[in-house]
Amino acid sequence: MFRDPLCLFFRVWLYPESNPAAWEHLRTQLHKQFDDTILWSYEDSFKYLYSLCNRAYFETDNVQLEGLMGGLEEQVLRFFVGEKLDDQPIIAGRYKVSKICNMSHISLFSLFKSSISGWFDFREEETVKANPYVLMQYLLEEWHEKLLSLKNAYIEEDDGRGYAIFFKNILKFSEDENADAPRREMAKKLRYIFENTPLPDKIQDWWQQISETGRIKKYKPNLPK
């Protein structure tokens, strides 16, 4: 077996036919022929997806910002993970997509939070603009499912400062009508989740504190009397 010198990330991105039917046919053929070479190409592709398409910003040089792939980021991601992460059958009866792309239960939760936090934290300048196609925004539904099932024991045992910044940015961008549309819409979706769905105790407590006081005190579990 050999390692593909031009991994699937680039082959799919530059595929001459970018319509859904053509990509589905290509994916079906790859799954039928799946071997170690294609597995390695999948693994390399996710590395490129994370490192190139999940950047918080791009330098525009006064050129209209179109992200790295001109808006194809979500389509390319879905080529690899399916309409929903791990909804598609296990590849070749051996490989689970979340395993190949290193998006286990905890890693997806952590990667989403750190990526979106960095995206919100970025401050635009004249020739440096927020990336409208940050990859993790397209995995919001999968992240939300992980959040709902997350146990307190898996949440970082810190003082909540990282979550405080994350939550403050959600409130800020969701209310700022002058903010760029992609980050504002993501903030609105996240705010709805934190205000209207069940949350792990720690996160619920931290969100409520930020919403009410703008700061987080040390988490204290609600122990039975």
Tell me the pLDDT of the chain averaged across its residues: 80
pLDDT confidence band for 223 (50 / 70 / 90): very low
Could you report the per-residue pLDDT of 164-182, keeping only the tens digit for each?
899 999 999 999 998 999 9
CA distance linking residue 1 with residue 134, whole number of Å: 34
Other Cβ atoms less than 10 A from the Cβ of 213: the count is: 9
Which phi-psi region, left, alpha or beta, contains residue 95 (left: φ > 0; alpha: ψ -120 to 50)? Answer: beta
Contact (Cβ atoms closer than 8 angstroms) between residue 216 and residue 206:
yes
- The token pair at 96 is 């689970």
88 pLDDT above the threshold of 60: no
> What pTM was computed for the model?
0.82
Which residues lie across from 59 on neighbouring strands? Answer: 128
Dump pLDDT digits (tens) for 196-218: 998 888 888 899 999 999 888 76
Least confident of 14-23, 44-53, 132-141, 183-192: 14-23
- Whether 166 and 116 have beta carbons less than 8 Å apart is answered as yes
N-term to C-term CA, the chain = 62
Cα 140 to Cα 27, 33, 134, 151: the distances in Å are 23, 31, 11, 19
Per the model's pLDDT, the better-predicted residue between 38 and 223 turns out to be 38
SS3 category, 128: strand
pLDDT tier for residue 90 given thresholds of 50, 70 and 90: low
Q: How confident is the model at residue 224 (pLDDT cuts 50, 70, 90)?
A: very low
pLDDT of residue 181: 93
Q: What's residue 201's pLDDT?
A: 84
| Mean pLDDT computed over 95-102 | 64
Q: What SS3 class is residue 144?
A: helix
